[in-house]
Chain A
């Protein structure tokens, strides 16, 4: 089973509180926030590794990012992926999800043409920074593959390479169970698994694995569909929402605090039931 995995480097989401907007330039200031592999993309890699353990085949990672994306790809190769493709060119910059998906699709198609075609493309369900969750669906549409997002479980039965997979999709009040024919694109959420750690051996092996870089020329894309130019959505102003509140501190012993808290709660018109147990 040949699997492509879409992986995006993102600023570490645990540190988004320290991102600010420069009041002068109106630009984003994210200095000091390290770049990591998008959390759900690691889960996509893990899901790919599990399928490979069962069915054999090859895992190729695709990343569209500036040249320093290479470092993150090495991390994913160290987890056990077989090959990496860094899609990188100034002309790809400023892409929205439609242009990003198009560019990734061109890369997937180029790789397929050069070696074997893919049975499955896995991606994270959403990137931590932009978090649109559009890319899996849009890549699926453009490749002409079946596609599903928000997948929390993949069941692959039988021995040989499967024709279809049973997948569970998270919905508002439970799960949809689908059978999806391959080739397909599947976006997985972080609920699907716990990604493995990289071993020292993995890091050493990663250095010897095939690594391609595709620039704009290599992909010969329709120029009207890439980068800022190819993006139907345009970015306007950015601002930080004002979520600030007065943060009045209650102090004293836990009992004194509890006493005051009950007073405050009553003051805003919330009733307290005697004896508890009145919840629906």
Chain B
């Protein structure tokens, strides 16, 4: 194994490890295959976690297929505080000098990664949709711009670590061969000036009674072309005919308050989904939305405008009034 270290931030969600860690680890393992080809030896894969973890969670990290688990703990780290967390992680980086550092672009990751970029004077790429090494060994980070219409390659050639955040749901989890990672404890030294600038008062978790869109196998998605509140309900009724289904939305549907669950918005600032079946109605096909569904297996779109952009990215095109088509569809589903 080479001296190079690939750090992966393992988000600690109330003592449990966020799924995004496993997505990033799967990608890091794939990167390591190429790195081995290039350098003759793989890099060390290292999970980095901040705050106390339950025993089960720590075990799930230790057995995730990583080589090392850095567990950063301190009494000031029991509650999330971005200033303290980024300082603690920066101290570990100064000591261990990682080559690459991967974060999920979650609320936490998008705060920690750029802060770390300043503390370590290095580059950070955001919301990557792919990561790879080219044949010269350069680490290429594919970053979407203009809502995903354009992808740009980003390189961080001169400074380390090369920090990248990756949108959750982009990489698929693959189980790595289990091995027992070495756990290394790290205690940062934190002075009081960092400690009390920001205080987490409360966490308001939204109870949801429906399946999260990112886990759904069938998504019925509505856009601005659904027209009004009452029309929206047909989406729910149709979703009921499918197992593991969820109703998704575009930004304007949220703005109009046809749904109040912002966790169901799909796209650049929402979720990335990969259902077997996606049925979208009254959606124009703005790249901001489309880039969130590009991994869907089968896309059906209904739009009254036969030239709508959404049709270019659809398997099935239906030109017509969303409500009329969906109502006929619902009536047909009743007969099943």
Contacts and interface: CB of A to CB of B under 8 A. Distances in A.
Contacts of A278: 240-243
A137 B309 contact: no
Q: Chain B: interface residue count, which band?
A: 35 or more
B262 interface: yes
B115 A239 contact: no
A149 B316 CA distance: 39
A131 B153 contact: no
Nearest to B275: A270
B124 A97 contact: yes
Contacts of A236: 140, 152-155
Contacts of A269: 276
A243 B111 CA distance: 30
B315 interface: yes
A234 interface: yes
Interface in A160-206: 166, 168-181, 184, 189, 191
B277 A270 contact: yes
Contacts, number: 296
Interface stretch (A76-84, A208-216, A245-253): A245-253
A54 interface: no
A97 B114 contact: yes
B124 A237 contact: no
A180 B151 CA distance: 36
Contacts of A158: none
Interface string B230-257: 0000000101111111000000000000
A108 B151 CA distance: 32
B92 interface: no
A149 B313 contact: no
Contacts of A237: 152-153
Interface stretch (B44-52, B53-61, B184-192, B200-208): B200-208
Contacts of A128: 146-147
B210 interface: yes
A258 B325 contact: yes
B149 A142 contact: no
A270 B198 contact: no
Nearest to A30: B146
B312 A245 contact: yes
A231 B122 CA distance: 9
A150 B114 CA distance: 14
Interface residues of A, number: 92
A279 B215 CA distance: 13
A134 B286 contact: no
B153 A179 contact: no
A253 B206 CA distance: 42
B110 A133 contact: yes
B110 A19 contact: no
A245 B315 contact: yes
B171 interface: no
A243 B204 contact: no
Contacts of B114: 97, 132-135, 137-138, 141
B325 A265 contact: no
Contact of B111 (A98, A149, A168): A149
B313 A268 contact: no
A174 B159 CA distance: 36
A178 B108 CA distance: 14
B49 to A, nearest CB: 17
Interface string A216-245: 000000000000000111111111110111
Given A133-B110, A137-B115, A233-B123, 13 more contacts: A97-B114, A131-B126, A138-B118, A169-B107, A232-B117, A233-B155, A235-B153, A241-B148, A243-B291, A254-B329, A258-B331, A268-B297, A275-B334
Interface of A: 11, 13-14, 16-17, 19, 21, 28, 96-98, 101, 126, 128-135, 137-138, 140-142, 146-150, 166, 168-181, 184, 189, 191, 231-241, 243-251, 253-255, 257-259, 261-262, 264-265, 268-280
